[in-house]
Structure 1
Amino acid sequence: MTLYESLANQFIEDIKAQKLSVGTRLPALRAMAKQHQVSMTTATKTYDYLQQTGWIYAQPQSGYFVANQHFSNQAEGNIFPTINLQNMEQRDPKKFAPSNGYNPTSALFTPLGTSMIAPELQPTNELQRCIKRVTRRAGQQLFEYPEPQGEQNLRGTLANHFQYNHFSFLADELVITHGCIDAIRTAIETTTNEGDTIAIGSPCFSGLLDLLVGLSRNVIEIPVQETGLDLAYFESVLQQGLVTASLFSTSNINPTGLTLPAKQKQALAQLAATYQTPMIEDDIYFELSHQKQNALPAKHWDKEGYVLWCGSVSKTLAAGLRLGWCLPGRYLAHYLKKHIATGFGVNGLMQSSMAEFINTGDYRSHVNKTCLMLSKQVHQYRQFLIEHLPSGAKISQPQGGMVLWIQIPNLNSIELEKAALAKQIDMRSGACFSTHNFYHDCFRINCGWPLNFSSINSASSTSTSPDRNKKAVDKSIIYQQLESLCKLAHDLS
């Protein structure tokens, strides 16, 4: 047993003996290191171990606290939803759409279903002021077509912005797109043809599966579990030439919230180069880490240009802005040709306004606040579910983002989704995230709405009812919906 494991066990024994009760604030790292006469490295590893095994949780800028006792009793067991490895099989997503719930048409909108932050948490006033300033200065430029590759000022601003996170690239290497999904679509069309097979992570964001259905691409699913992506499995797929490209989320992955270890990201970039097989990196949650420092993308280790890195402000700021980007690497010329062929550039006013918003510092300030909020909020949702779900439930422990992935033994999540919709509760069954039947006992919920808000207005993009745009969602309603969802899970498991 290592020193940090031994020290961690001392804390665990104190928690079990209730010498440290739920919610107790633990000593700061430096104080703990001095108290136990260990190095800061050992102290950090101790708290990291306690977090990973669920005994404590971190509250950014506040410290470390003892987690819910109910969860602590489960902490020594496996807390992350698991799956069995599937056979390497090329599958046409279209053939599995009817039974696996792709393209769901929700007749309602509630905070638990769609992965997004409450609109009231967005810096609306600051953004409006930026747009007004840019509009006053724009003059004749408002009536001109924007640059096909994206406005130089935004590309340069983004290059400077990400350099702050130790991720460097040139403005001329970047292409501005209509959101992340548009960036990914163009990347897929640039690197593959209809009927080709793409390796994807499993579980995979349902929107990506919907996109692949529309583009007539086949898939092979590569399992993503608590330790990350199954790299050996993926390399065997590459060795056999079964795929033309790969499409992976790597940071704060939807629906699990996991972030692939840096060594895995580096390995993915190396595998793409070794087998000369393009990798499309969906990194839309890149900036929403619950840690102090954002993890670097796989693109950071891409020396040969085989990784096409895609991102957006849709999750950090507002999906309605429809602003995203791609670093296509060696595929830049072909990518740009595809991009230009499907449009005449991205809204110039929004591009200039986003550049202004970043340069004022308002964007970084907003993202920092959002990360703090999401870290706290995900923990609160998680603790609620631990207390109210059936025993044996396994809940992911996100490193970032805003979603939770839950697995309950003997649950039929499709039936749960139907029962929830009947009660006007929107959620996502595990069937939406795979072409296989591996997630029949899993579901995903969004944690982007703070539980302590007194009132939140929400609007449904799928609704044509003007009354729905005025629907009020407050703390009591969210609480009731979570409670009702947990009761349904009890009844159906």
Structure 2
Amino acid sequence: MATLKKSSPLNREDGGALYEQLADRIEGLIADGVMLPGDRVPSVRKLKQQFGVSMSTVLEACRLLEDRGLVTARPQSGHYVRENPAMKLEEPSESRPSHEAVKVDRVMSLKLKLSIEDESILQLGAAVPSTNDFPQKTINRLIGQSLRDESELAHKYNTPRGVEAFRKAVCKRMMYAGISAGPDDVLVTNGAKESVYLALKAVTKPGDTVAVESPTYFDLIVTLESLHLKILPLATNPRDGVSFDCLGGALQKKQVQAVVLITNYSNPLGVCMSDSRKKALAAMMERHDVPLIEDDICGDLCFGDERAKTVKAYDKSDHVIYCSSFSKTISPGLRVGWMVPGKYQSKVEQIKLAINQAAPTLGQLAISKYLNGGGYERHLRKLRKLYQQQTSLMLQYISQSFPEGTKVSKPSGGHVLWVEMPEGVDSMKLHDEAIREGIAIAPGPIFSPREDDFLNCMRINTGLPWSERIEPAIQRLGELAVEQLWRNGVRKKAVKRKPCKCEPVVSHKLDDNVVMGNRH
């Protein structure tokens, strides 16, 4: 039986029920490999004595661990750590794109975008979070408060840089990412997408080549197309990120005029680049005098307690343009993002002024109040835990439902999975077949400028609240993939699906009073 060490007492004031805290302790030991599959969890009586809690608290914690799919109960014996079939899945192969730049001349993501509004379709493709997991009531209240207290500011024209109070609040937040910046260094934008657009517009001209990870976020491909830029896809590993050999070679040959990367929980691979590689990347950009546009939209969504640093944190020469937003953590509809343009700030501000003067003021006012109120970190802890649980469950169901040879990414943050199915599966056809059954996926080719790349891959969204629709949908996707293989003469057999004993985690709307630290 595994020994559970008591590192610190449970505390009712830590922001969670005691049974949740106890379950989190045990889950942490399982995640760290201290408790292995087959190990017996300490008995209910032992846990009761060790942590000084009631029997009912321990039983609730065990039930929660069962719901999370981490332990299983054996009659007259106790609880045991479950074998996690998802951990046996291999990660996707490193991409091997051509070393030639590609002119983008098509848009394959429009169908996926348009399907978002259809509520009859289960959106496993679009990486859209559920607004029910965001502090809507609190933000609504703060919008009303802003209209009452700062009505004139809310309604008048603002400068391209944005609301000063918001920029000050953002500077405090960026310290968690290792970035030291003042409010005058920040430019507020209509989401991170506009930040990336402004950065590209400032550092490139039509016909230039931009290096990106491969696969890469399809909206970035659309943005590059709109600016008449060519793409140089870089070989990318699902664990380490882009190949520095490929990037370094392209920089050495002066093939690229800019680089765009998501360094924390990339979309779609979910890669979080190590600090040592981020530091080396910053030095590489300085050495070759090429700008790096760093999109950090998911940086706050780590599955652990420590927020990942950024390449900007190691930028000594102002070659990194930092971009982010609160669309993935507070509200996608408010479209509040920001950037730190560095030495390109004057040019970026001129472009911003020509496009739309300034980002809407009201959202900035409300979010600045929310950040200064101290509730954001508590909200993030809940959101991170929720996404981690939903990602873990999705991995389990994919491992049980998809054909042998399927590989899946294992991110340490964010809310997307990259699924590589056996050769012979066409994810474009799979998308069309699944849509007819009310299931949307993001087929692999839309994440590359080349139509034949990643044909056997797809991206799955894990940001949706877990519901009774998701498990059978994943099972059906696996069946459709197997049917394709058989039609194509590939005799891959389906994984023999075992009933999952864990109950789905239901995403409850976060308590806004708890998020803001209010007790009444």
Within 5 Å, give how 1:395-414 maps onto structure 2.
395-410=408-423, 411-414=425-428
1:67–1:336 CA distance, 2 compared to 1 (3 A): farther
> Match for residue 114 of structure 1?
126
Displacement of 1:102: 3.9
Q: 1:48 to 1:368 in 2, by over 3 A?
A: closer
**How many residues in Structure 1 have an aligned counterpart in Structure 2?**
422
Q: Distance in 1 between matches of 2:38 and 2:271?
A: 18
Q: Of 473, 483, 495, which residue of structure 2 is paired with 1:491?
A: 483
Q: Indicate the SS of the match to 2:272.
A: coil
Give the drift of 1:346. 1.1
1:477 corresponds in structure 2 to 469
Cα pair 2:178 2:310 within 8 Å, conserved = no
Q: Which residue of 2 aligns with 1:438?
A: 453
- With over 3 angstroms needed to count, the CA separation of the structure-2 counterparts of 1:396 and 1:26, relative to structure 1, is farther
CA contact (8 A) 1:117 1:315 kept: yes
Q: Which residue of 2 is the match for residue 359 of structure 1?
A: 372
| Residues 55 and 71 in structure 1, CA contact (< 8 A), matched pair in contact too | no
In structure 1, the residue matched to 2:151 is 139
Please list the CA deviations of residues 275-303 of structure 1 after superposition, one character each: whole Å capped at 9, or x if unmatched.
11011011110100112111101010001
- Identify if the C-alpha distance between structure 1 residues 264 and 127 changes in structure 2 by more than 3 Å, giving closer, same or farther: same
Report the equivalent of 1:448.
463
Contact 1:142/1:349 (8 A) holds in 2: yes
Mean CA deviation greater in 135-144 or 287-296: 135-144
Partner SS, residue 468 of structure 2: helix
Q: What displacement does 1:114 show?
A: 1.5
- 433-442 or 178-187: which moved more? 433-442
Instruction: Specify the code of the residue in structure 1 equivalent to 2:456.
Output: D
CA distance in 1, matches of 2:101, 2:177: 37
1:280 alignment partner in structure 2: 293
The answer (yes or no) to whether the contact 1:54–1:71 under 8 Å persists in 2 is no
How far residue 67 of structure 1 moved from its aligned partner, in angstroms, is 5.5
The 1:84–1:328 alpha-carbon spacing in structure 2 relative to 1, beyond 3 Å, is closer
**CA drift at 1:86:** 2.9
Give the SS at the match of 1:320: coil
Q: Check whether the contact 1:251–1:260 (CA below 8 A) recurs between aligned residues.
A: yes
1:217 to 229, 233, 240: 229
Greater shift, 258-267 or 305-314, is seen at 258-267
Once residues 390 and 98 of structure 2 are traced to their aligned partners in structure 1, the CA distance between those partners, rounded to angstroms, is 37
Partner of 1:87: 98
The aligned counterpart of 1:41 is: none
In structure 1, what residue type is equivalent to 2:463? G
Query: Runs of 5+ in structure 2 lacking a partner?
Result: 9-27, 40-60, 72-80, 486-520
> Could you tell me which amino acid in structure 2 is paired with residue 368 of structure 1?
R
What does 1:175-254 align with in structure 2 at a 5 Å threshold? 175-225=187-237, 226-254=239-267
Q: Is the 8 A contact 2:191 2:324 kept in 1?
A: yes
Equivalent AA in structure 2 for residue 415 of structure 1: K
**Retained in 2: the 8 A contact 1:257–1:401?**
yes
Which letter does structure 2 place at the counterpart of 1:175? L
Distance of 1:229 and 1:332 partners within structure 2:
27
Q: Secondary structure at the match of 1:207?
A: helix
Match in the other structure for 1:392: 405
Which residue is 1:324 aligned to?
Answer: 337
Read off the aligned partner of 1:427 and give its amino acid letter: I
Local SS of the residue matching 1:319: coil
Q: Equivalences for 1:13-24 in 2 at 5 Å?
A: none
- In structure 1, C-alpha distance between the alignment counterparts of 2:324 and 2:5, rounded to whole Å: 35
Distance 1:337-1:112 versus aligned 2 partners, 3 A rule: same
Which residue type is aligned with residue 202 of structure 2? T
Q: Residues 46 and 146 from structure 1, CA distance in 2 versus in 1: closer, same or farther, beyond 3 angstroms?
A: same
Counterpart in the other structure of 1:103: 110
Q: 1:366 to 1:244 in 2, by over 3 A?
A: same
Question: 2:175 matched to which residue of 1?
Answer: 163
CA distance in 1, matches of 2:453, 2:478: 21
Provide the C-alpha distance between the structure 1 equivalents of 2:31 and 2:289, rounded to a whole number of angstroms. 37
Could you tell me which amino acid in structure 1 is paired with residue 91 of structure 2?
F
One-letter identity of the residue aligned with 1:419:
E
- Picking from 298, 315, 318, the partner of 2:328 is 315
Distance 1:198 1:28, change over 3 A: farther
Matched, 1:258 2:271: yes
SS of corresponding position for 1:356? helix
Q: Answer with 361-370 or 284-293: which moved more.
A: 361-370
Q: Helix, strand or coil: the match of 2:247?
A: helix
Question: In the aligned structure 1, how far is the partner of 2:37 from the partner of 2:445?
Answer: 27
Aligned-partner Cα distance in 1 for 2:397–2:321: 38
Change over 3 Å in CA distance of 1:397–1:476 after alignment to 2: same
AA partner of residue 462 (structure 2): C
When residues 84 and 249 of structure 1 are mapped into structure 2, their CA distance, relative to the original with a 3 A threshold, is closer
Per-residue CA distance 1:244-267 (angstroms, 9 max, x = gap): 101111001111112011111112
Given the superposition, is the C-alpha separation of residues 133 and 81 from structure 1 closer, same or farther in structure 2, using an over 3 Å criterion? same
Distance apart, 1:46 and its partner CA = 10
8 Å Cα contact 1:103-1:210 kept in structure 2: no
The match for 1:428 is 442
Q: Deviations over 1:461-491 (max 9, x none)?
A: xxxxxxxxxxxxxx22223322221211221
Cα pair distance change 1:186/1:433, threshold 3 Å:
same
Which amino acid letter does the alignment assign opposite residue 136 of structure 2?
Answer: T
Percent identical across equivalent pairs? Answer: 25
Is the contact made by 1:197 and 1:218 (CA closer than 8 Å) also made in structure 2? yes
- Alpha-carbon distance in structure 2 between the residues aligned to 1:347 and 1:242: 38
Match of 1:383 among 372, 380, 396: 396
Q: 1:46 to 1:447 in 2, by over 3 A?
A: closer
Choose 110-119 or 183-192, whichever is displaced more: 110-119
1:343-362 alpha-carbon deviations (Å, 9 max, x no partner) = 11111111111101111123
Q: Is the 8 A contact 2:95 2:215 kept in 1?
A: no
CA distance in 1, matches of 2:207, 2:388: 41
For the Cα contact (< 8 Å) 1:299–1:307, is it kept in 2?
Answer: yes
- The residue number in structure 2 matching 1:14 is none
Structure 1 unaligned residues grouped into runs of 5+: 1-19, 32-44, 452-474
2:493 match: none
State how far apart, in whole Å, the 1-side matches of 2:206 and 2:386 are.
42
Q: Name the amino acid aligned to 1:104.
A: K
Name the CA shift for 1:83/1:413 in 2 (closer, same or farther; >3 Å).
Answer: farther
**What CA RMSD, in Å, does the superposition of the two structures yield over aligned residues?**
2.7
Q: CA deviation at 1:415?
A: 1.1
What is the TM-score normalised by the length of structure 2? Answer: 0.76
Residue matched to 2:513: none
Deviations 1:53-102 (A, max 9, x none): 9999xx9x989874644345x36xxx1111452331011121xx37xx34
